[in-house]
Structure 1
Amino acid sequence: MTRKNDRAAAPEIVEHIEDVDLSREMQDSFLEYAYSVIYSRALPDARDGLKPVQRRILFQMAEMGLRPDRGHVKSARVVGEVMGRLHPHGDSAIYDALVRLAQPFTLRVPLVDGHGNFGSLDDGPAAARYTEARLASPALAMTESLDEDVVDFVPNYDNSYDQPEVLPAAIPNLLVNGAAGIAVGMATNMAPHNLVEVVGAARHLLAHPEADLETLMEFVPGPDFPSGGTIVGLSGVRDAYATGRGSFKTRAKVSVEQLTARKVGLVVTELPYLVGPEKVIEKIKDGVQSKKITGISDVADLTDRTKGLRLVIGIKTGFNPQAVLEQLYRLTPLEDGFSFNNVALVDGQPQTLGLKSLLEVFIGHRLRVVTRRSEFRLARRRERLHLVEGLLIAILDIDEVIQVIRTSDDAESARGRLREVFELSELQAEYILELRLRRLTRFSRIELETERDKLQSEIAELVELLSSEARLRGLVSDELAAVADLYGTPRRTLLTEARVQPTGRRAAAAAAASLEHADVPTRVVLTASGRIARIDAADGADAVAITAPTRRSKHDAVSSSVAATSRAEIGAITNRGRLIRFSPVDLPVLPGNAPHLAAGVRVRDYLGLADRTETVLGVVSLTGDRPIVLGTAQGVVKRVATGAYPNKPDFPVIALKDGDTVVGVAQGGEDDELVFVTDDAQLLHFPASAVRPQGATAGGMAGIKLAAGARVIAFDVLAPADVESAVVVTVTAGAETLVGADPGSGKVSAFAEFPGKGRATGGVRAQRFLKGETALGLAWVGPGPALALGPDGSARTLPDEPLAKRDASGAFLESEVSSVGRRLG
């Protein structure tokens, strides 16, 4: 057997060498590499906030059916599927991206539900073969409607599969979860935000496309890190929201606690973003050994799964804990910096985006997604309606349809005769030929008619939606609201304004001096909108005056204030009758020339109140001889004896009955007047001397006699010097009117017109109800002039000139009044 000589038939190879300029080739290759890194690896898309590897992971997990209601699968399997089908890179890069999507301390809203060791701030995750994963519930909002032609699909690396160019992303993921990446010649670093706040800003921008940055920042005041902490100074945040670049400082949440009977310590419960406790402990030990940090006796990490982060720093005897804490903020990661660099891809090009631009890109994406989804659904419903109408024709003349089919030679002939006889389309005729006989019942006809009517209604709604820009924006807004309701959580990071801190040698000198810093006289102020701040004497506390705001200006009113020192312990009393000790040293300082009180911090966040139904009513001093006085909704009054306060971080100051709550708190002496106002418009005042002081565990005594169904809505204490200038403000809330639509009527009367009566009596009438008015919704007693606020914090006008008689009816208000307080002066 012989073999043909293939070499003889081979064509002659001609050598060809092309000279290429090396510098030009290096430039072209580098630019191609840079573009690949920027577009395909390092930078997120501004629409869905995802890098390609993250998008491919979520898409492939959705294709694998790894929904939240199904079991976890090995992470290695997910990595293998993503690498083999969509992402031709190393498995370590894919697994690192998968882990980040599952870490609750990295993302504000994790998109992957991890099972197993997915790492911590101080340690890496276990290998992919040991961990398991599935999609988290919010990931469903990122991938929903992919089968409805809402986004374009592109081929994968070998053209064997299709993948989405971008995810539908019903969540504003880029702002909510942030991003970090290093490309060639550029980088991105974006902070996480609160989902509810971002959705609120997006919905406002949908309704008001011309909204400016200041308006949007009322919804998104600053980042919200998964680890909590405190942002100190918001000027850098404003810069970042305006230009896309800015920086700010974040601080750990630290409290001073009594560790033992004779030892005080600093307890850290929240750390700056991506700072782990081991890193903090290492820096503290290094500082103590190098004698840069003084006053620390020991450090212990007591973190567990039950209580969460708890880092305890012991303070040596004789050292001021707050002064030591300032050292730690300066020399350890308990204070860390964050730099905004909002770089993302817009139409394939990297751009630096501010807050409004980021929201506009996301809103534009969602509008396109909803439009394409609606067009897809409209086409499908029209196709189905076409078939249903053909079936109804067939059922109405079923005998003739059967006769036409039976007398036809073949399917093609039957199809043509059906079209000719019944005037059907080819698609309808084909569908009738494939119809099963069991569909030819009377019941099926009713079903088809019902389906036809439903399809016609849905088609009309979709046509109307697609023809109306306003309705389309409204639908996108409603869908965003639903996402926020499902996946939104309360804010974790506290936002505070702060004065500029010294740097360099000035910082070292300031830190050294702070160890010997004495207490400064200060005044702690609680506002009607629930913000708290302090005014130091050194900052002009004696000269501070809150000017009368204009009708449209945002402002605040004082509901409670107390004189103290910056390092003293004072108490905050809640509607649950609980007193919470705290020191005002960490409170933001209100400058002496501030026109309003908006520089304060939310007292709920500052004190860490987790229960949304618990509110702070007032602040009191824990020293001195003025007892704490409380009034409850069921008409109970109590004076808490001075010195009867347990040495605990928080404790009850009154034993409340079931269903009762505290409605007012103040401090008063024997000569002060105690005032109750009920929702049925009764006012009672009597001397504080009529109530004997009791211990913290007592339940108080009868303060006012209530009519059936009535409750106390206001309680306050008036000093003798304030009685002559005090006014009584009452505002009705009619049960027959729509809340928010009718502001009701209000009245301002002189307190001196109300005669005093004995304790536990019924009082006198404070306002006569008009037709349709059934109760008071708001009342306030205090030194005039009263300052009224609306729900949005803007000023409201009260009918205070001339002052009304005590039992007169009110005057109709122009707009809703939600709270009343006094001006600070």
Structure 2
Amino acid sequence: MARRKPPQSEDLFDVEEKIVEVDVQEEMEGAFLEYAYSVIYSRALPDARDGLKPVQRRILYSMDELGLRPDKAHVKCSRVVGEVMGKYHPHGDSAIYDAMVRMAQPFTMRLPLVDGHGNFGSLDDGPAASRYTEARMAPAALLMTGGLDESTVDFVPNYDDQLLQPEVLPAAFPNLLVNGASGIAVGMATNMPPHNLVEVIGAARHLIANPDADLEALMRFVPGPDLPLGGRIVGLDGIREAYETGRGSFRTRATARIENVTPRKKGIVVTDLPYLVGPEKVIEKVKQLVQSKKLQGISDIIDLTDRTKGLHLVIEVKTGFNPEAVLEQLYKLTPMEESFGINNVALVDGQPRTLGLRELLKVYVDFRTSVVRRRTEHRLGKRQDRLHLVEGLLVAILDIDEVIQLIRSSDDTAMARQRLMQVFDLSQLQADYILELQLRRLTKFSRIELEAERDELLREIERLQAILDDPQVLLAVVSDELAEVAKEHGTPRRTVLLESDGQSGTTSAATAGAKGAAASLEVPDDPCWVLLSSTGLLARTSDAEPLETGGRRAKHDVIVSRVRTTARGDVGLVTSAGRVVRLSVVELPALPPTAGAPSLSGGAPLSAFVDLPPAESVLALTSLAGEGPGLALGTLQGVVKRVNPDYPGNKESFEVISLKDGDRVVGAVELTTGEESLVFVTTDAQLLHYPASLVRPQGRSGGGMAGIKLSPGATVVGFSAVDPAAENVVVTVAGSADALPGTEAGSVKVTDMWAYPSKGRATGGVRCHRFLRGESVLTLGWAGAAPPMAASANGVAVDLPETNDKRDGSGVPAAAPISAVAAP
């Protein structure tokens, strides 16, 4: 038994000594449970509502109290740390500063909440001391704290009961999913990856509109994590399991390609590493493996990373070694391929729970609905109080002479107040407000202002009361506010999602590509197809079987371009700058034979084969065989060109059209017979098509000819070529010119091609879409063989409506933003 003495009084001789007997086991169990509860609830696990741990919440609240908003100057981090530690967080300054640093690191959080100034560390090095760095709130942090002064959340006492702090922040976006979380508690841990803000908000809004939506419907919006530095994720099965059960795993793999580092030596260039893996960690591991002779074939590793090019590791391969085989060993033995275990543990009503995607969104939507309701009640009360005073003031102004006489004849303020209340039937608040009235408010213009304010208050009260009276209106407000956040702070997806190859469950597209290239000398020069998907994945089929219906894969993406060639041949990538970039087919990953639609789950991204400037994108594939009617191009400014297929055989890239300043190619099609119809679609909803025979073929240096007559301010949004003998349709998507791309679904319409009459080249065409309210431009126009298939920017399939017989009719709301349409 342990003995514990009670506190002694100042006079030791006046108090008899007492010994209290305590059971050691009970004391240890109680103390450990209290400690475990404190770690779980007060330190290690985030709240499912705002996605913040207590230290993160206290940092943001303290910065908000200090007024460190994005438009203010940075202050020393030591000041913020001291404020947090002295008022709200009874722990060490290093823990507070570490949490603050993580919220400022763009490679850790998808949407940083702290704007750091100074050395906040890197993937390999820690930050400078807090006395050297400065910080302020990032724009996204204002979304977390906005509304604290409107009774949106409850406040609780701080550790010494001297101050109040928010129990949770209002959180205008689902921070837990967007920025992820990690923490180790007692007996449990959490590890959540970041996601794309636009995708998460899209899923939340879908859940608001469809409360019974299942996981499959939500994953159409959130197909997987979106890591801050991009990269590639391998293994979508583990992600789906995590979204369903709260636990799962996926693999992140470095982006690497084989290049000639010298005229006679090849090397492996690494431009992206797995999540939270730094280049120095990889370099150290490679050197260790080379020295222990566990990794052969590497002569040197050079780090050329800088702020301009970003990550750039060059691994030189010794002469006589296969660089593809070396790359496979690097993936196997070094951190160039890492596993991320998802464990979605968060606090719900103060209790730790493991949550799937639907549960995480449901908790946030319910919380945000409560925040908006409490904010509305607060604003309604404020406006009702103000209306009460304004109405009393209007009463006084109407009979101002009598009011003045009544006040002058009163002995004191109390008598004046009482007489005002009796004579004019006013409340005490109204009477006090009149007594404080300034003489300059007695003008005629002041009365007009008060009447206008009263009318505005009445309208505002009616609007706020309508929100509180109708739950559907309240949910609509929540949904609209989320859409505004996505529009203002959303960014495109950075991470490419790749499925497994069905064998090991962890082999990525890059692995398949490396294996295909490693056996390039043994690959027969058989006919095959080269495929390009809407998300930029490239692959080749393993045989020359004709492609069956389904430009779409079973779960992800659509095929936007294909060309027939041979396994040892070359194909061209047609870019928006009017160039063709040569690509060796044998370097592309080969897809296994499948029944039905081909799957690009084994494809590799374009960035693994070609480096393009940020403003240049790949539009289509073309054959370099120099046969057939050639390539047809359509530009932004309405120029059309048919290119003679006399391509040079010794150039890696070459121009196929001479573009004017400000112009670019918007569509490229490989003609098969020369009898196709060329189709232009413009932003002002005009469609023109005519036979390709009306366009005279030109050499590569030609600038093309007028293809369509454009209205002032209009540009071409789509260019296609269709077989007149086939069953063709036109797909148009309308939206707002001010909307952020990928945030607005808009309206979509599918119309039979026969509804549009053919006209001559360089004419204006006919109307193909009638805009609804809020729509001003076409964001997509496509023509091709039926049935069309659509996908969003991240490759998720989007259902299209039934065919509309009206060529100039309006569209129907799309299920999700559409970025690509393809045909069988």
Shorter-normalised TM range:
0.7 to 0.9
Per the alignment, residue 178 of structure 1 pairs with: 180
1:685 pairs with one of 692, 697, 705: 692
Considering only aligned residues, what root-mean-square deviation do their CA atoms show, in Å?
4.3
Structure 2 residue corresponding to 1:793, chosen from 787, 792, 798:
798
**In 1, distance between residues paired with 2:210 and 2:299?**
57
Look up the SS of the partner of 1:643 in the other structure. coil
How many angstroms does 1:659 deviate by?
5.4
Deviates more, 1:628-637 or 1:447-456: 628-637
Contact 2:376 2:468 in 1 (8 A): yes
**8 Å contact from structure 1 (residues 241, 354) kept in 2:** yes
Q: How far apart are 1:591 and its partner, in Å?
A: 5.8
In 2, distance between residues paired with 1:586 and 1:610? 18
Corresponding residue for residue 523 of structure 1: 529
Write the distance in 1 (CA, Å) between the matches of 2:809 and 2:390: 59
Name whichever of 74-83 and 565-574 sits farther off: 565-574
Q: Please give the per-residue CA displacement for 1:514-535, whole angstroms capped at 9, x wherever unaligned.
A: 85564476532235x5564535
Residue equivalent to 1:560: 561
Residue type at the aligned position of 2:658: A
CA distance in 2, matches of 1:729, 1:513: 37
CA distance in 1, matches of 2:590, 2:469: 51
Q: How many residue pairs were aligned?
A: 775
Q: Distance in 2 between matches of 1:185 and 1:612?
A: 47
Establish whether residue 642 from structure 1 lines up as the match of residue 647 from structure 2.
Answer: yes
Query: How far did residue 573 of structure 1 move?
Result: 1.3
CA distance in 2, matches of 1:32, 1:734: 59
| Offset, 1:603 | 6.6
Q: Distance in 2 between matches of 1:771 and 1:486?
A: 28
Which residue of 229, 232, 235 maps to 2:231? 229
Give the whole-Å Cα distance in 2 for the aligned partners of 1:25 and 1:87: 27
C-alpha distance in structure 1 between counterparts of 2:285 and 2:34, whole Å: 43
Checking the alignment, whether the CA contact within 8 Å between 2:58 and 2:88 is kept in structure 1 is: yes
**Distance in 2 between residues matched to 1:788 and 1:26, nearest whole Å:** 68
Q: Which moved more, 1:726-735 or 1:252-261?
A: 726-735
Question: 5+ residue gaps in structure 2?
Answer: 1-8, 682-686, 738-744, 772-776, 792-796
Change (3 A) 1:10 1:743: closer
The CA deviation at 1:368 is: 0.8
8 Å Cα contact 1:571-1:579 kept in structure 2: yes
How is 1:64-213 mapped onto 2 (pairs within 5 angstroms)? 64-213=66-215
Q: Distance in 1 between matches of 2:755 and 2:572?
A: 32
In structure 1, the partner of 2:342 is 340
Matched position secondary structure for 1:117: coil
- Deviation string 1:750-790 (CA, Å, 9 cap, x unpaired) is 9xx99xxxxxx9579999989999x9996646xxx633236
Q: Which residue of 2 aligns with 1:657?
A: 660
TM-aligned CA distance change 1:814 to 1:590, over 3 Å? farther
Tell me, in whole angstroms, the C-alpha distance in 2 between the residues paired with 1:91 and 1:712.
58
Do the aligned partners of 1:531 and 1:600 also contact (CA within 8 Å) in 2? no
Worse-matched range after superposition: 651-660 or 562-571: 562-571
Q: Helix, strand or coil: the match of 1:35?
A: helix
TM-score w.r.t. the length of structure 2 is 0.83
Say which SS state the counterpart of residue 89 (structure 2) adopts.
coil
Q: What is the Cα deviation at residue 133 of structure 1?
A: 0.8
Superposed displacement of residue 290, structure 1: 3.0
Compared with structure 1, are the counterparts of its residues 604 and 370 closer, same or farther at alpha carbon in structure 2 (3 Å cutoff)?
farther
Residue 39 to residue 731, structure 1, CA distance change in 2 (3 Å): closer
- The answer as to whether partners of 1:555 and 1:795 remain within 8 angstroms in 2 is no
2:580 aligns with 579
Match of 1:218 in 2: 220
Aligned to 2:299, what secondary structure does the other structure show? strand
Which protein is bigger by CA-based radius of gyration?
A: 1
User: Relative to structure 1, is the Cα distance of residues 672 and 103 closer, same or farther in structure 2, using a 3 angstrom cutoff?
Assistant: same
In structure 1, C-alpha distance between the alignment counterparts of 2:152 and 2:624, rounded to whole Å = 62
C-alpha displacement of 1:22: 1.6
1:644: Cα distance to partner?
5.0
1:806 counterpart residue number:
none
Partner of 2:381: 379
Cα separation, partners in 2 of 1:416 and 1:607, compared to 1, 3 Å: farther
Segments of structure 1 that go 5 or more residues without pairing to the other structure are 1-6, 755-760, 801-808
Q: Distance in 2 between matches of 1:425 and 1:686?
A: 86
Q: 1:466 to 1:502 in 2, by over 3 A?
A: closer
1:691, CA displacement in angstroms?
A: 3.4
Match for residue 392 of structure 2 among 375, 386, 390 = 390
Distance of 1:69 and 1:548 partners within structure 2: 48
Equivalent residues in 2 for 1:261-660, closer than 5 Å: 261-500=263-502, 502=504, 515-516=518-519, 518-519=522-523, 522-527=528-533, 529=534, 532-537=537-542, 542=545, 545-546=548-549, 558-563=559-564, 570-580=571-581, 585=587, 589=591, 592-593=594-595, 595=597, 597=599, 599=601, 616-622=618-624, 629-632=631-634, 633-643=638-648, 646-647=651-652, 652-658=655-661, 660=663
Q: What is the Cα deviation at residue 70 of structure 1?
A: 0.8
1:424-472 C-alpha deviation (Å, 9 max, x unpaired): 1111111111222222222211111111111111111110011111111
Deviation sequence 1:121-158 (CA, Å, 0-9, x none): 11111111111111111101100111111111111111
Q: Is the 8 A contact 2:551 2:558 kept in 1?
A: no
* Pairs within 5 Å for 1:792-811: 793-794=798-799
Q: Deviations over 1:331-374 (max 9, x none)?
A: 11111110000000000000000011111111111111111111
Residue matched to 1:241? 243
Question: Could you tell me whether the CA contact under 8 Å between 1:113 and 1:135 is conserved in 2?
Answer: yes
Shifted more, 493-502 versus 396-405: the winner is 493-502
1:52 counterpart = 2:70: no
1:157 aligns to what SS in structure 2?
Answer: coil
Q: Structure 1 residues 381, 799: closer, same or farther in 2, change over 3 A? A: closer
The structural deviation recorded for 1:252 is 1.4
User: How many Å separate the matches in 2 of 1:456 and 1:464?
Assistant: 12
Deviations 1:378-433 (A, max 9, x none): 11111111111111111111111111111112111111111111101111111111
One-letter code aligned to 1:309: L
8 Å Cα contact 1:631/1:637 also seen in 2: yes
Give 1:256's aligned amino acid.
I
Farther off after superposition, 30-39 or 610-619 = 610-619
> How far off its partner does 1:206 sit?
1.0
Report SS of the residue matched to 1:228: coil
Seq. identity, %? 52
Which amino acid counterpart does residue 282 of structure 1 have in structure 2? E
Whether the aligned pair in 2 keeps the contact of 1:730 and 1:778 (CA below 8 Å) is no
